Structure 1
Amino acid sequence: MDTVKLTSLTTKGGCGCKIGPSDLSEVMKMLPPQPKNPNLLVGLETSDDSGVYQLTEDLAIVQTVDFFTPIVDDPYDFGQVAATNAISDIYAMGGKPLTALNIVAFPISKLDKSILADILRGASDKLKEAGVTLVGGHSIDDAEPKFGLAVTGVVNPKNVKTNAAAQSGDKLILTKPIGVGIMTTALKRGLLDESQIARVTKVMTTLNKSAAEAMEPFDVHACTDVTGFGLLGHATEMAVGANAGLRIYRDQVPVLEGSRELADQGVLPGGSKNNYLHVRDMVTFPEDMELTDQYLLCDAVTSGGLLISVGEGDAKHLLEKLKESGLEAAIIGEVIINGKGHVFVE
């Protein structure tokens, strides 16, 4: 079988990234409000990572779905990235993922069936690592490959973590480096060597399981995972939800090696630029901060880390636990009283 570059199979203009936050917001405003349900603990209101529906006093289900076009060329790696990314939303809510459904779109008459088998095998292996049971799925014959999963988990209603409960004085911890969107865009353009491809793939296929388990005993008030809307996009959602301000220390944010240099050369996904346009009125940047660095903080990430808002007294100890797990975690900022709903980059 001839080698197929999966990233070359998307249609012109199709990046596989999320619909931009501004466009999505406009669409949602056109829809009628959903009827109230007292069992729905987390719904659309806070732009959270998953929905949470209470079943009993001690049990709620957590539901999420995510899929996209290939961002790496190796089919097995693509399956692993997609599964890691989809499962992450459950971890971000403080939940335990249990089951998953595959979502497949594939040009079955144009590409070798072994490619799809490798994608599914990659996802299956990552599900096993997470302790998640595959219960089925759905597939369609499509002009371009797309893959993802719908994932269901459980959580005690008292332990739900949302992106909207950060408290003044909390420290902000990020558990993975940013720059993934820039690196995968460079991959599509043939600008990365094998070591760089392996590096970014490793970041995207690292489950947030160990991060979620590490934060369980600590005073964590809010959590989200950093994905398509970028670090500042998800940070502004956290600020708005908490009716507080966030301060981000740019020099403390972990960044993938080489991503800043690539961004300076104009290697930027369209999603990152859209993210910047969406958040720039909600973010104050230093006057001397170059536009490239502002874009980098808005980079559209796939399968990023958790952004954790934790009590100041627990921050150092949680960071130690995260690093003991092998994660590239760092304290990148704090929650402040001033500037409600606003993020200040310093």
Structure 2
Amino acid sequence: MRFTEARPPSARHVMRMVEQEPTCIMQRRTSTKTAGLAAPSASLTGQIGQALPAQAAGSRSTATGPLSGRRILTFNWVIRVNQIEVTRTRNEGFDEHDRRSPENMKALREAFAAGWPGAPMTWALSWRALEGSRPNYQAARRLVREFHDQYGEDVTLIPAAYFANMYNSREQVNRDIHEALAKVSDLMSGGFRPKALVAGFLSAANQKYLAEQDNIHVFQGNIGSQFGIDNADGEGSISYPYYPSTEHFGKPAQGPKDFVDCLNLDGWAVDFISARRLSLGKCKMGKKENGYNSRFGVGPIETIGWCGPDVGLKHMLTCTAAHFDAGYQLNQWRG
């Protein structure tokens, strides 16, 4: 996972990144047709405005060096075959292969480069995307290699396309992650090894295995706003980075005895006012009744999906500014 100091893009650039997302209202508890899952993740704190050097993100020691005291945004893009890939051979939800075209991937990368010049992103492939024989997945694997060579971007795994522990034993999740990471290394060649994992949610036991057996010490393994919404519930947690406890993935370690050496990043930067609400519903503002979604914020699936491109884009930019401009100026919180 590569860390980049946040610089909000122009409205035109954001729209290019999300223009393939549907603009109809989407109930995420049902099967939603999305072009892909962009997961902007709020992380450490500090100044805004320029990308970190590529080498700064490559070492764990930078968490107490160049990254310390800064406010950081990571941008991760998921490439999967089905909405939820329950096991290696069974899935839930619809087939998304038509949305994984090389044209879409190139358009996304160009828009990202225009919005955050010089910033790297992370590409996370599911098991089925790593093995898919259809032309779009063959092209996707070729493109992530090209993006790595051109931009220095990380390429990694997303186990089960977000909800691995719902459908598999912890032992099976460990096997899936360990073997899929080896597949990523084979795909990239040249001794490549992913620096991070994108997981949606991952149990504390699997996080411990990830750190001790696969030598990965930073991952997206929690969604702080994921309570009472979506196809799975993460029981809620916190939106800032923490080292998890062996007792529960959503609990920060309390000391050396329960410490898991894997920095856990929140996976969905949201508007904190929206996040106080439970799931989906309606609320009254004066005499007007509005729909709400507890996941409104930087993510286009909920924000543009519910509000449309004009209002949704304003909401995304305002939420980004709240986290990375006004929020930092007001609280000066440092990691």
TM-score, with structure 2 as normaliser: 0.28
Greater percentage in strand: 1
Larger RCO (CA within 8 A; separation ≥ 6): 1
TM-score, with structure 1 as normaliser: 0.27
